[in-house]
Amino acid sequence: MHTYRVTHLKQLEAESIYVLREFAAQFEKPVLLFSGGKDSIVMAWLARKAFWPARMPFPLMHVDTGHNFHETMEYRDKFIADIRAELLVASVQESIDKGRVVEEKGPKASRNGLQTVTLLDGLEEHAFDAALGGGRRDEEKARAKERFFSHRDEFGQWDPKNQRPELWNIFNGRKLHGEHFRVFPLSNWTEMDIWQYIKLENIPLPSLYFAHERECFERDGTLIAKTDFISMLPEEEKSLARRTVRFRTIGDATCTGAVLSSAATLDDIIDEVAAARQTERGNRSDDKRSETAMEDRKKQGYF
């Protein structure tokens, strides 16, 4: 007997592609928010597939804090050229220069909090009415109820009462003038699914995800890379050492924690994730700063 079987990764892929096409069809001026992390890389990869052989019918927007690992930027430009997408950059530095936001002071200053303003300004400037995000429901408890199509009011805010039930594969993206949607095609993926799919599809990733040697210091229980953008407190300086590390999420260089790891290949990483005793967020301290690292910006209205 012939059996019709679709593996879990292919089902997730099919679902995400369906959501991406609904997204393109239901909104007038859509955009994909590209953070440079693995989730948004997978999302952009799927968008490439969804509209192939045409180019994807929306641009990518990167909210750039200016505090980047150079590996991230090199990767970004090459990847975007490879998938033949268009890139817009919304710059936090520009928001600072224009006086839209004020740069924090002190050794633990971070631009994370400022990104929301840059993002919302960027959306408004281009009159985008819907934005794709790489959020997954398994990331944290609070996200478990997030919709694929998440409604935002005119101020970009999320009102739990205004969220629409989602049945079967019917999505309701109707909205009043000035309202927005955030759309999450990876809602049903777990961290493990993402890694397995990257392996299955052979998707290139920034080298930061793989084990390498780097000078890091400890801040509030998290390993932070020494970069030009960050100054260390005296006791932090003492903890500075070369270590073999990798990053589980990638974002602003000043607040994305590294983990000690020797996982140098995708298979190693998959094994590491399978054996992991900590959630992705677990390698960050409870400190507010690290909670809001690049991929978790939604807390402040980013997602």
Can you give the binding site for other proteins, defined by CB under 8 A? 3-15, 17-18, 21-22, 24-25, 48-55, 137-138, 141-142, 144-145, 160-161, 163-170, 172, 174-176, 187-188, 190, 192-193, 196, 199-200, 267, 270, 276-279, 281-282
**Strands of 180-183's sheet in order across:** 87-91, 60-64, 30-33, 130-132, 180-183, 149-152
Give the three-state DSSP class for 116. helix
Backbone angles phi, psi at 90, to 5 degrees: -105, 120
Dist. CA 225–CA 207, nearest whole Å: 14
Which H helix or E strand runs over 48?
helix 38-51
Close Cβ partners of 158 (under 8 Å, ≥ 6 residues apart): 150, 151, 152, 301
Least distance in angstroms from the C-beta of 192 to other proteins = 7
User: Residues 273-299, buried b or exposed e (16+ Cβ, 10 A)?
Assistant: beeeeeebbebbeeeebbebbbbbbbe
Rounded to the nearest whole angstrom, what is the least distance from the CB of residue 131 to other proteins in the complex? 18
Smallest distance, Å, CB 270 to other proteins? 8
Sequence-ordered list of residues with C-beta below 8 angstroms from that of 3, at least 6 positions apart, any chain: none
CB of 141 to other proteins, least distance (A): 5
Minimum CB–partner distance for residue 200 and other proteins (Å) = 6
Identity of the residue, 11 or 239, whose beta carbon is nearer to other proteins in the bound complex: 11
Instruction: Name the residue nearer to other proteins (CB basis): 171 or 217.
Output: 171
- Cα–Cα separations (whole angstroms), residue 215 to 67, 96, 224, 226, 297: 17, 29, 9, 6, 26
Residue among 115 and 196 whose Cβ is closer to other proteins = 196
Nearer to other proteins, 8 or 238 (CB): 8
CB nearer other proteins, residue 19 or residue 258: 19
Minimum CB distance to other proteins smaller for 52 or for 155: 52
In degrees rounded to 5, what are phi and psi of residue 198?
A: -60, -40
CA 223/CA 247 separation, integer angstroms: 10
CB of 275 to other proteins, least distance (A): 10
**Residue 142 Cβ vs other proteins, minimum distance, rounded to whole Å:** 7
Rounded distance between C-alpha atoms, residue 289 and residue 187, angstroms: 25
| Shortest CB 14 distance to other proteins, Å | 4
CA distance 43 to 90: 19
User: 10 Å Cβ neighbour count for 25?
Assistant: 11
**Is 122 or 185 the residue whose CB approaches other proteins more closely?**
185
Q: Which is nearer to other proteins, 192 or 233 (CB)?
A: 192
